[in-house]
Amino acid sequence: MVVRELELDLDAFEGPFDLLLTLVLKEELDLAEVDVAGIVVAFVERLAERGELDLEACGEFLVLVAALLELKARGLFPDEEAELADLEPEEAAEELARRLAEYRRAKEAAAWLAERLEGEGDRFFRLGPAPLTPKVERRLADQEPESLAVALRLLAAEPPSVSLAHLELRFPPVSQFLERFRALLSRRRVFDLDAEVEGMSRIEQAVAFLALLELRRSGEVALEQAAPFAPIRVSRAEAVVERRDEWIARSA
Amino acid sequence: MDRPLRLITASPVDRLARTLEALLVVASQPLSAEDLAVAADDDVERIETALRLVADRFAEGRSGIVLEHVAGGWAFRASREAAEACGRLFERPVERGLSAPGLETLAIVAYLGPVSRPEIARIRGVAADSVVAGLLERGLIAEAGREDGAGGAIRYRTTPLFERVFGLESLSQLPRLDDLGESTDEIRTRLETVAERRPA
């Protein structure tokens, strides 16, 4: 028999014992609401069903329930702990007996009420829509309407607009550079890209490079770079053709 | 000439009795003799005389409506012989599903009230929060101030509805606590017996 798997059906909790323990330890379930006697009854019933005395399970259960009871007692009487610790055993017994008597009387009174209810169950009477409970008056201190207005005015103010400047990336159109490079090439046969884009932003330089690739694709320019990171030399396409002709002539 | 049906004599007390019947039939809660005196614009003594007349007319076995003295006042209710029929039409929602913990808490509030939740918890050995909330919702108990000191716990007492549901004229009709249960001495004796039996 596994104590931790003991199924419980209490007012405050329904499920296996170990879940109850977990919830209590995580303080998600108020132990004060848990009927520990109900747990004991459930265990004893389970034990009786099995018909054999499982000493190991009993021992484990005893330890767990004792710990639960101690936790619960501490939770219920936080202030009285010190007070009770000072009591002599005899006084403590007296106190216990007094409390038991008090509780016993409350139970008897409840039994009397239950009996009374049974006897009076055939008395039907009219109840107004509102219960008879007298309204509890909760008086507020005198309030200034002006201070409410002040509070509202604070809330009603337009919030400052959030700056999105850091998110802004301006991409100049590629066409702008296409036109620029074509114009340049109509005046000069060759130019250095680095010299042309000097002083531009990183983004502008990138777009300029894209424009260059575009021109290369359409066969309008030839690109040359002597070494990695060396200046990129741009030349008009017919120049390349001419030079290739030269090369062909020379090699022939 | 039209002659009215003369079942009731037209004495002044009789007229007052009819006024009281009217007041009681429109009320949804018990009315004290003083309440009735103010409403009927008459003196309390004459009201009480007239009430006896009404009580005589509206008595169990004589009428389907019965006048009863309950919760510190007077109110009409259905006769007990009509209870079964009433039960088919209505239920008594206030006490439906009133649990044993609820009754225990109610008893503590009725006897010791005004009483706070921590006090109830101390006596019952279980937190009283949900039970107290349930009783509040049913209107059987109500807030009645706070304990002394800053942030004192809210205290509760029973309501007139509690007295009405339990058919009590007032809380003084509750039996004395001393007449209920064992005395402290008896419990102590039993504890000692158990202690002696326990192996050392």
- Return the bridge partners of B116, or none: B155
The owner of tokens 């607009």 is A161
User: What is the spatial distance between Cα B123 and Cα A102, in angstroms, rounded to a whole number?
Assistant: 7
Rounded distance, CA A136 to CA A157, Å? 38
Mutate to test the interface with A, among B131, B143, B180 (most CBs of A within 10 A): B180
Q: Which residues contact B145 (CB under 8 A, 6 or more apart)?
A: B114, B154, B155
Say if CB A209 and CB A218 are below 8 A apart: no
Number of neighbours of residue B33 by Cβ within 10 angstroms: 19
B193-to-A92, A124, B186, B198 alpha-carbon distances in Å: 16, 49, 11, 9
Among A136, A135, A111, A119, smallest CA distance to B165 is for A119
Name the residue facing A134 among B68, B142, B175 (closest C-beta).
B142
Q: Which of B71, B84, B100 sits opposite A110 (nearest CB)?
A: B100
* A90 located within any domain: yes
**Torsion from C-alpha of A198, A200, A203, A207, nearest 10 degrees:** -60
Q: Pick A109's closest partner by Cβ from B126, B180, B192.
A: B180
Q: Is residue A219 part of a domain?
A: yes
Q: How far apart are CA A67 and CA A73, in angstroms?
A: 10
Do A36 and A68 fall into the same domain? yes
- Is the residue at A160 inside a domain? no
A53 and A101 in a single domain? The answer is no
Q: Enter the ipTM.
A: 0.74
> B153 CB near a chain A CB, below 8 Å?
no
Among A30, A56, A78, the domain boundary falls at A78
Contact criterion met (CB below 8 Å) for B20 and B51: yes
Query: How far apart are alpha carbons A1 and B162 in whole angstroms?
Result: 47
B41 phi, psi to nearest 5 deg:
55, 55
From the candidates B26, B65, B122, which should be mutated to test the interface with A, based on the most A CB atoms within 10 A?
B122
C-alpha A2/C-alpha A50 separation (Å) is 12
We report the CATH number of the domain holding residue A236 as: 1.10.10.580
List every span in chain B annotated with CATH 1.10.10.10. Answer: 12-89, 93-195
Of B126, B138, B175, the CB nearest to A35: B126
Q: Is the pLDDT of residue B20 over 90?
A: yes
pLDDT the model gives residue A72: 81
Element (H, E) at B193: helix B184-197
A103 touching B (Cβ < 8 Å): yes
Residues A197 and A243 in one domain: yes
Segments forming the whole domain that contains residue A108: 85-116
Instruction: Name residue B155's amino acid.
Output: R
DSSP for B138-151, please give it. Answer: HTSEEEEEE-SSTT
Amino acid at A181: F
Q: Do B166 and A117 touch (CB under 8 A)?
A: yes
- Establish if A106 belongs to a structural domain: yes
Q: Does A18 reside within a domain?
A: yes
CA distances from B117 to A12, B18, B120 (A): 18, 46, 5
Number of structural domains chain A divides into? 3
User: Per-residue pLDDT for chain A (252 aa), expressed as one digit of tens each?
Assistant: 677 778 888 877 888 888 887 787 777 778 788 888 888 888 888 888 887 777 878 887 887 888 788 778 777 776 655 555 666 667 766 777 777 777 878 888 888 888 888 888 788 888 765 444 455 566 777 888 888 899 898 888 888 888 877 776 677 888 888 998 899 888 888 888 888 888 888 888 888 999 999 999 988 898 888 888 888 889 888 654 555 555 555 444
Q: Judge whether B91 is closer than 8 Å to chain A, CB to CB.
A: no
Angstrom distances, CA of residue A106 to CA of B38, B93, B181: 40, 24, 9
Average pLDDT score over residue span B15-33: 89
The Cα–Cα gap between B16 and B31 comes to 15
A247 at interface of B, judged by CB pairs closer than 8 A:
no
Q: Which residues between 31 and 70 in chain A have a beta carbon less than 8 angstroms from any beta carbon of chain B?
A: 32-33, 35
| Least CB–CB distance from A124: residue in B86, B126, B168 | B86
B166/A106 Cβ within 8 A: no
Report helix, strand or coil for B67: strand
Best mutation target among A99, A102, A116, A123 (most B Cβ atoms within 10 Å) is A123
- Asked if the Cβ–Cβ distance from A109 to B107 is below 8 Å, we say yes
Residue B94 contacts A, CB cutoff 8 Å: yes
Interface contact flag, A124 B87, Cβ < 8 Å: yes
CATH number of B12-89: 1.10.10.10
According to the model, what pLDDT value does residue B192 have? 62
B109, closest residue in chain A (CA to CA): A106
Q: Do the domain assignments include residue A123?
A: no
CB-CB under 8 Å, B174 with A125: no
A101, B181: Cβ pair inside 8 Å? yes
SS3 content of chain B, % helix, strand, coil (to 5): 55, 15, 35
Residue A146 inside a domain? The answer is no
Residue B89 in tokens? 């039409």
Q: Quick check: B161 and B124 in contact, CB under 8 A? A: no
Token pair of A101 as six digits: 């008597």
**A94 lies within 8 A of chain B by CB:** yes
In which band, very low, low, confident or very high, does the pLDDT at B148 lie, cut at 50, 70 and 90? confident
Q: For residues B146 and B52, which has the higher predicted lDDT (pLDDT)?
A: B52
pTM of the model: 0.50
Over residues A144-199, the pLDDT tens digits come to 888 889 989 888 888 888 887 777 667 788 888 899 889 988 888 888 888 888 88
DSSP letters, A209-246, are HHHHHHHHHTTSEEEEESSTTSPEEEEEHHHHHHHHHH
CA distance A147 to chain B (A): 27
Nearest CB partner across the interface for B177, out of A105, A117, A124: A105
- Beta carbons of B47 and A86 less than 8 angstroms apart: no
Contact: B123, A109; criterion CB under 8 Å: no
* CATH class of the domain whose range is B93-195: mainly alpha
